[in-house]
Amino acid sequence: MCDKNNEKDCGCLNDLLRKILILQKQDFDNTCHTTSCDKPYLGPICNSVCYNTRPLMLYNCCTGEPWSFPYTVNGLTNQSTVFRIEALDDCCATFRILYLNENKNYVGTSEFFTIDLNCVGAIKCLPDIFVELC
């Protein structure tokens, strides 16, 4: 865990994740003017309904290393550093673990974790994708 004496306000991370949650629910004002993590739509163009996920990587605030969590598929356990935001409550966020299948496509697991955003130093957004949700 990060040094609790040096807790930061998770407001900017919370704001970004909240926007991504809204996008994933396709409940947004469709304006087409940005291309960064907070662009107001999923996919390469506006009005695209073939994307439902903005995959994320989370970085540890103390070490700068990507957070990694285990998942089990077909009896095999591996680690993943790519996630889908599922819920947000103040500085606590719940993520679904994603993994790459043999076709190099991300697949959603039925495994989740909740993390204190005060332990997240950075978020990296990956290209928008469609993920079959369990």
The domain locations on the chain are 4-125
The tens digit of pLDDT for each residue in 78-131 reads 999 999 999 999 899 999 999 999 999 999 999 999 999 999 999 999 999 989
Q: What is the pTM of this model?
A: 0.79
- The angle at the Cα of 37, spanning 27 to 11, to the nearest 5 degrees, equals 80
**How many angstroms separate the CA atoms of 119 and 6, rounded?**
10
